[in-house]
Each structure stands twice: as C-alpha cells, then as structure tokens.
A and B are shown apart, each in its own frame.
Chain A
Amino acid sequence: MIASNQPSVIKVRVKRQDGPGQAAYWQHFDIPYEENLNIISVLQKIAAKPITRDGQRVAPIAWDCGCLEEVCGSCTMLINGRVRQSCSALIDRLLEDSPSGEVVLEPMSKFPVVRDLVVDRARIFQALKKVKAWVEVDGYFDMGPGPKQSRTQQEAAYPLSECMSCGCCLEACPQYAKVEVIREAGESEEAYRQRVEAANSVAFIGPHAINQAVLFNSNPTGQFKKAERLEALTEPGGIQVCGNAQNCVAVCPKHIPLTTSIAQAGRAVTVHAVKKFFE
C-alpha cells in the first residue's frame, strides 16, 4: 500500500537528446504527488506543462507509448536504471524502492535515439524477417483447420508467442551492441534505410528472434522450414554470438523462457550441422 511518508512532489530526472547523434543532457522536473500514477501519467503531466524544476519552459519530452497495459511493447525505457515498460511502472512502487526519492528516465541504450526517450527499434523486426518467423502456408483460401495439437504443445508454444518485441532482452544482453547509422545530409529516406538494414544484418539478432525461430520450428506446419531457420541462426550475428549471460530471461516482462529457447536452438543447430556434414 501507500507509504505513510508520501512526498509532496515526485522528482523526475530525464535524459534528453534533441536528435540522432546529438549530445544527451539531463533535465529535472517536479510533479505534484498523486496516488496511483504510473510513468505514463507523469510524462503526460510534463507534456501538458513542460516546465523544469528551475522554472524553465522547455520542449515537451518525446516518448513512445500505445496500449498502456503492457501488451504492445511500445513504451520500453530505462527507469531507475532498469529496462521495463513505463505503463506498468507505478510511481508508488518506484518510490518504495528508490532511497533518493527520485525517478530517473533514460532511453534504451542499445538502440539509436530518435529523440529523448524515443528510440529506433526497426532492427528488432528485421531480425524476425531474417529467421523467417512465420508459418509458410500455401495461401489464404479455406483449406479446413490446421493440424491437431495437444494441450501440452499449445501450452509450450503460447508463452513463446507472447513476445511483444519490446526490446527488454536486447537492452539487458551484453552481446547485443548498439548499431547506429547517422543519416547523411541530402540522403533519401530509402537510401538511409538500406544502409541501416545492411549494418543491422550482420549484427546479433538477439534472444527474442532465436525464441521466435524455436516457436515456428515447433509448429506442425512451421517445422517444414526448420532447416532454413537453423541456417539463419548460424549466419553472422546468429546464435553463436550468445554468451549465455542469461540476463534476457531475467528482464523479460512476459517471463518468456528465453534461455530455454536458446538452449533448444543451440542443440538443434548442432544436430543440423552434423547432419549436413554427412549429407
């Protein structure tokens, strides 16, 4: 419940950045305390009245959010140093755990900053393309139901398919390094995107994508393309980059068994390689 020593204001420190490649700086805001606020409500209050603790009127803070109930993955950021969704980060809970009584907001460090707390996470979706995270059906005509599946199969697959591509596992992963490509003056959006994709394509795909490969390799129809996904996992930036730090599973807001998936994928890749050797 609410601590009895409620503060009169919530002290918020925000790491800001005006645009890609620019220097970051800090600003402080004091928000009148109310019960049951989350980080989103605090940012909304700052947006409505963007005045710093020193009374300076500043541009509103930019941030991403969507569903506000932790299923869309939009609002991921670093809150008091920990990567998580800002919608489910409740101020009362944060204050209990923060001796300084301060709330510190920073953009994720593994993705290029677009502005303030907004980062570019296109690389996450690019990795899903690389591992062919889909079921290759013939088409969308009516062909009757899919293959029967046991309850056990469903209960194994469902948690893996809850991944909302939020990026927490990537922020926490020591092997996942930031890839930033700065847009050149006069460069078209399309040309810039192509350079970004080329740079991303050889960098680590990350735990989330390995987990998706495992999910689709376990699907009765998805497994027909198992070999292609395993090949993708062995390319540059593939599963071999994983250093087994196990940070990913600890920060996943959906408690997806990422390390189990990585272990499974690791074994499957080895078996696949041995088989290929004897082919």
Chain B
Amino acid sequence: MAKQRVVVVGGGLSGLSMTMKLCELGIPVDLVSLVPVKRSHSVCAQGGINSCNDATRQLGDSEWKHFDDTVYGGDFLNHQPPVKEMCEWAPKVIDLMDRLGVTFNRTGEGFLDRRRFGGTLYKRTAFAGATTGQQLLYALDEQVRRWEAEGLVRKFEHYDFTSPIVDDNGACRGVVIQNLHSMEFLALPADAVVVASGGPGLVYGRSTMSVMCNGSAASRCFRAGAKYGNAEFIQVHPTAIPGADKLRLMSESARGEGGRVWVPRRSQDTRDPKLIPESERYYFLEERYPAYMNLVPRDIATREIFDICVNEGLSVDADKMCVYLDLTHIPKAELDRKLGGILDIYQKFQGVDPREVPMKIFPAVHYSMGGLWTDYERSSSGGLVVGSPRNHETNIPNLYAIGECDYHYHGANRLGANSLLSCIFTGLMVGPGIENKLKQSKTAAADLPPAVFQQAVAAAKEQHQAVLQRPSSDQNPYQIHQELGDLMTRAATVVRRNDQLKAAIATVEELEQRANVATVVDTGSWTNQNVIFTKALMDMFPLAKAILWGALQRDECRGAHFKPDFSMPSLTSDTREGRLQEAEQWCDRFQANTDKWLKSTIATLVDGQPKLSYEDIDTSSIPPRPRLYGLVGAEEIETVWKRRAAAKSAQVDPMAARAAAAPAVASL
C-alpha cells in the first residue's frame, strides 16, 4: 500500500494547527493555499484568544462558565458538545501557543496578561498587542515550516482548490487544484481532505475580510454535495473603519481596554469632539447596558450603533454613518503597549491619531458563524470523544471541515476572541480523529486507478476552458460582484425584512445568470487573475442564496439574525406585579419560539438551489434560557423563567429543583 496522505485546504490558524498535529502523528500533508500560508486572513485577527485562567478561576470562573457564556452569547444555537470540549481545551491551547513562542503580553510578574472581551465579565483574553491573530499564525506557520524542512509537508501555495474528487461510492479521495501562475491543473490523491478555508466575506463585497476570503472552497464542497449549516448567521462587527476597498476592523479590544462608544446628544454636532462636554455626550451602550457597558455581545452593540445612526439620526457625520470610539482618556504609553497595531492602522488609513482624537467607526460584515455541516461524536460527559473519526467529518465521507468554515461553535453570534480558539482547537483536536480514520482504511488513495484522477482533472479543465471561451458580452464580473455585495449588505446584515429578502433572492438569480455569461477580458494562460476571479464569483451564488433563503425562512430573532417583525417585546408595565404578569406571557412566547426555531438550518444544493431542512441541536448540558442583556423587564422575566425551570426539573429531580428555587445570586 502506498503511504496514506492528507490534503489540507487553507493555511490559516485551523489549517496550520491541523497540519502540524498530523505531522506529529507521522502523517504526511499536502497543504493547499491561495496565498503563501503566512499571509492567510488569520493575520487580521487583532484582539486575543479566550480561556478560563488562574486569575479568573479565583474570581469564580471555570471552563463551564466559559462554555455557558459562549452558548448564551450564541443564543443557544451552538452545538454544546463541541463547545464544551473547546472550552475545556482552551487553557491548554493557550499554554501550547505560549510554548511555541507567541509574544503574548506579560504582567509585571511575567505571567500572561489578560483583557476583557465582549459577552463576559471575566478577563479571559490573552493577547499579543493588538495583532494576536498575526502572532498566533506566525507561530503555527513556523512549526509547519519545520515539518516542511523535515519533508512531511508539501506546500501548494498560489493554488486554487477547484473541487473535491468524489468516487462512485460518494467518498472523497482527493482534490483538484489549479496553479494560479501556470494555470495548470493537478490532482492530489488524499485519504482525508480537510477544508479549512475560512469565511465568505467577499459575498458581501466589502467586509473586514481579506480578498481571498471568497468562500469558494466551501462553496465547491457545497456544490459537490456537502451540507451547509446556519448560512444566515453572519456576524456584523460593531466597530470597523469604512474604506473604499475594505472595511478595516477596529478590534473589540479597544473597548476591552476601556474604549467608550458615544455620539453627541445633539444631532450632527459639528464641534471638535474633545470640546463636547460630558453632559452633552450620549454613551448609549453604557446607559442601555449597565452591567456589560461597552462590552455587550457583538450583535447587540452592532444593532445599537445602527439604531443610533439610522433610527435616531445621531450619526456623527451627516453624509456617512458613524459613531465615536474614544480612547483619548487612556494614557498613551498604555495604548501603545496594548493596542499599538490597531491604532497604527487607523492612523495610517485615516490620517488621524486615535490617541488624540476619537475614532469614527461603523459596523461591518466580519465573520460567518455558519459553514459546512460536520458531524461529531458526543462523549458520555457531554463533550466530544477525542479521536473519533466522526468529529468534523462532513456528510461526504473523508471530507472534513474545520475553523471558520465549520458551523457549530458560535451559534447565532460569536463572542470576541473565541474564533482564534475554535480555529486552533479544531485543528489540534481533529488530527487524532483523522489518524484513526486512516487506520480504518486498508487502502491508500494513491493506489486508485489513475483514471479517477485524470477524469477529475479533465472535468476541471473543461470547465475552465468554457469560462475562457465565452462569447463576448457586456457583462463585467467586477461590476456584478459589486452589485452582489451591495445587495447582500442591504438585505442580509443587521436588520432583515422578508419583503427585502424575497426581492434580494430574485435579484441574486439575475446576477447569477449575468455572472454565468460575463466576459473574461483576459483569455491568456499565464497568471490569469481575471478568470480565477470570475470562477470565484460564480461560486459566491450558492452561498449567497443559502444565506438569503435561510434568513427568509427563519421568522424569529436570534443573535445576529434580527427581524424586527418577529422581535420579542420589552415589558412595559410600570409596576412589578404588572411586569411579572407580562413576563408570564413573554416566557410562553419564548418557549414556543424555542420549540419551533432552536434548530440549525441545513442547506443542500439541488440543481443550483439551496434546499433547507432543520436539525435539532444538542442542548443537553445547558438548557436554553432567554438572552436578557439589558432588556427592560429582564429581572421579572428571569424570575418567571427560573421558577418554570425549577418546576420542570422538579418532575425529574426534586433535590435539584429545591436548589434551583433558592434565591438567585444577584443577577448580572
């Protein structure tokens, strides 16, 4: 038997951690990436990486609380076994990255320094200045280079993944890739293929994502029959710097280090912000969310900023929407030490020093909570069976998905500094499962008849030639992409309405038809970026449609998916008694909604159209409860909800019910 190999598609945090783990297990890897892996989009991650740690532990934190914050922040759409496993690994993941030489900031005594991030009251986040993603990526890149020097890794950088190779039994046996310079196609036989290709930001035109985050690898698996989960859950980050080519991220860590979000109370106050007195500033997050203040979960901060600008007309500028993110009260030396990287970005692109002048920011598309559907094997303790070949396997046998392009960790809304964790964790954790998968097989893909691979390459070539040789039309792929991005940004970001979503679906169909005939100006066969872009554009449509259909059909509000027509009201009564009564109805409605909608949206692509079904979610460890950050009447709703939960568990376990009915510790 030939040596078994694994192909990893994508060289960001998850792809690299997967690669190095497989190498440690002695399994050779072919690593495929559009860009040199050191330039992967993970470099853009700024704020940090979460784990329960020795200091927070003594303040009452635990892995369990990290798990609870993650699923509560994700509005319970997360699958709990993988999240529980991830939070248990988190302190160990950070220890490992520390050993690999990541330059984490230090305390005076030499421990890892931590900062607070959104959706938690604990300082869980380890960080390396404000370029944590870059520093983590480099450490993994270095380890993979070490394995490359030892001959276990072959890198295919500047290659585009064009399709998985699926055999007659429906199992994945390798990939077809295309060299972005010579435009030649190549088949790589593989006994397992791991897609770690990140998010689909380009579907929205401009976002905080890098230009290679076009979603094409995930979409090509979707086309090949892989299921796609929770597509409609797209995170819009509250704070980004608007730009003509990109919306550049301004990390949540700016608020974690004390940054305050405000607008002048008077609409379009033209005064220098530093001259506006405190009494005339509206610190709307702090006023509306007294417990979490500026560090509410991202979906909430985004909606509030949107609301302030769109509905209340309090945008700082009249011609473009923005609010202030103010760091000017923090000493410069501290800012430089902890946030230097992001402040430099602001200064470079805006020409204004954010240490002196409040920044102007606005929300931007940032992350996809949804992604390729994958399986997992639950352990008896509610986590995962590590080493199970089922973990992170898609519905196509031997095809795996990890990192941002999987779907279970972040539910309806991701907490800041949990993505770096989920990416590295999935890479490390899934490695042994793949090792076992290979052991189960008595064959190697490399021993298959060459015709299997030759046919796959021939099909890819044919498709490529067909795009190159299209008859001339007046359709321009770049123009279509811009229209797609504008449409998706209008219809499927912060606020979603069914009429707009329906209209957007019709328009996307038209755009797809135009993209299918768009002319490729460059018909050459050397470094033809024009044709590569056109093919990636065509692959944005399955994902765009899955997002729109998922959003249209989900008639509720959950995390980042906000439909005002289906929102749960605040309580309005002036008396506690009245509010308690309203809370009863509120809880009835909440329960009914949970029964109907606490499900993953699963899309399969049939004849180019997403067909949706709904999948139950494992919420066996933490029963779903109302998400009440700052809601008016939260206290009464919580009282009613706890009583009901206690009554419910009394039917099961009288002792637990008594404990639950005891007076609650002061709620947040």
| Cβ-based interface call for B245 (8 A) | yes
Question: Which residue from chain B places its CB closest to the CB of A64 in the assembled complex?
Answer: B35
Q: How far is the CB of B555 from chain A (nearest CB, A)?
A: 37
| Cβ-based interface call for A36 (8 A) | yes
Q: How far is the CB of A275 from chain B (nearest CB, A)?
A: 25
A129→B149 contact, CB < 8 A = yes
B106→A151 contact, CB < 8 A = yes
Q: How far is the CB of B18 from chain A (nearest CB, A)?
A: 11
Cβ contacts under 8 Å, A27 to chain B: none
CA distance A265 to B128 in the complex (A): 25
Question: Which residue from chain B places its CB closest to the CB of A92 in the assembled complex?
Answer: B351
Q: Which of A44, A57, A93, A142 is B92 in contact with, Cβ under 8 Å?
A: A142
Cβ contacts under 8 Å, B20 to chain A: 140
Question: Which residue from chain B places its CB closest to the CB of A85 in the assembled complex?
Answer: B348
Chain B residues numbered 99-157 whose CB sits less than 8 Å from any CB in chain A: 99-101, 103-112, 128-129, 131, 134-135, 138-139, 142-143, 145-146, 148-149
Residue of B21, B99, B212 most packed against chain A (CB within 10 A): B99
State the majority secondary structure of interface residues on A: loop
On whether A72 and B43 interact (CB within 8 A), knowing A48-B476, A146-B99, A164-B134, the answer reads: yes
Q: Which of B135, B184, B527 is A118 in contact with, Cβ under 8 Å?
A: B527
Q: How far is the CB of A232 from chain B (nearest CB, A)?
A: 12
Interface size for A (C-beta < 8 A) is: 72
- Residues 179-200 of A, flagged 1 when their CB comes within 8 A of B and 0 if not, give 0000000000100000000000
B210→A67 contact, CB < 8 A = yes
| Cβ-based interface call for B497 (8 A) | no
Known: A62-B527, A65-B211. 6 other contacts (CB 8 A): A69-B349, A72-B41, A135-B139, A142-B96, A151-B107, A161-B101
| Cβ-based interface call for B44 (8 A) | yes
CA distance A149 to B113 in the complex (A): 11
On whether A71 and B134 interact (CB within 8 A), knowing A66-B39, A161-B103, the answer reads: yes
A69→B103 contact, CB < 8 A = no
Q: Would you list the 7 A-B pairs with minimal beta carbon distance, nearest first?
A: A134-B142, A48-B478, A115-B527, A146-B98, A148-B110, A146-B99, A135-B101
Interface size for B (C-beta < 8 A) is: 72
Show 8 residue pairs from A and B whose CB-CB distance is below 8 angstroms, ordered by the A residue. A60-B521, A60-B522, A68-B248, A70-B345, A72-B210, A90-B349, A146-B95, A189-B184
On whether A114 and B527 interact (CB within 8 A), knowing A69-B246, A154-B103, A216-B101, the answer reads: yes
Q: Which of A19, A69, A136, A145 is B248 in contact with, Cβ under 8 Å?
A: A69
CA distance A127 to B249 in the complex (A): 32
Cβ contacts under 8 Å, B134 to chain A: 71, 162, 164
A145→B95 contact, CB < 8 A = yes
B211→A69 contact, CB < 8 A = no
B182→A189 contact, CB < 8 A = yes
| Cβ-based interface call for B274 (8 A) | no
Chain A residues numbered 40-66 whose CB sits less than 8 Å from any CB in chain B: 40-41, 44, 47-50, 57, 59-60, 62, 64-66
Question: Which residue from chain A places its CB closest to the CB of B346 in the assembled complex?
Answer: A69
Cβ contacts under 8 Å, B135 to chain A: 158, 161
A135→B99 contact, CB < 8 A = yes
Chain B residues numbered 36-63 whose CB sits less than 8 Å from any CB in chain A: 36, 38-41, 43-44
| Cβ-based interface call for B275 (8 A) | no
Cβ contacts under 8 Å, B40 to chain A: 72
In the complex, how many residue pairs between chain A and chain B have their CB atoms under 8 Å apart?
192
Residue of A19, A68, A150 most packed against chain B (CB within 10 A): A68
Cβ contacts under 8 Å, B24 to chain A: 139-140
| Cβ-based interface call for A155 (8 A) | yes
Question: Which residue from chain B places its CB closest to the CB of A145 in the assembled complex?
Answer: B95
Question: Which residue from chain A places its CB closest to the CB of B212 in the assembled complex?
Answer: A66
Q: How far is the CB of A104 from chain B (nearest CB, A)?
A: 20
CA distance A41 to B323 in the complex (A): 25
Cβ contacts under 8 Å, A115 to chain B: 181, 526-527
CA distance A128 to B138 in the complex (A): 12
Cβ contacts under 8 Å, B244 to chain A: 34, 36-38, 41
CA distance A29 to B186 in the complex (A): 36
A135→B100 contact, CB < 8 A = yes
- Residues 117-137 of A, flagged 1 when their CB comes within 8 A of B and 0 if not, give 010010001001100111111
A67→B103 contact, CB < 8 A = no
A151→B108 contact, CB < 8 A = yes
Cβ contacts under 8 Å, B349 to chain A: 38, 69, 88, 90
Chain A residues numbered 1-50 whose CB sits less than 8 Å from any CB in chain B: 1, 18-19, 34, 36-38, 40-41, 44, 47-50
Question: Which residue from chain B places its CB closest to the CB of A63 in the assembled complex?
Answer: B529
Question: Which residue from chain B places its CB closest to the CB of A154 in the assembled complex?
Answer: B106
CA distance A115 to B179 in the complex (A): 14
| Cβ-based interface call for A207 (8 A) | no
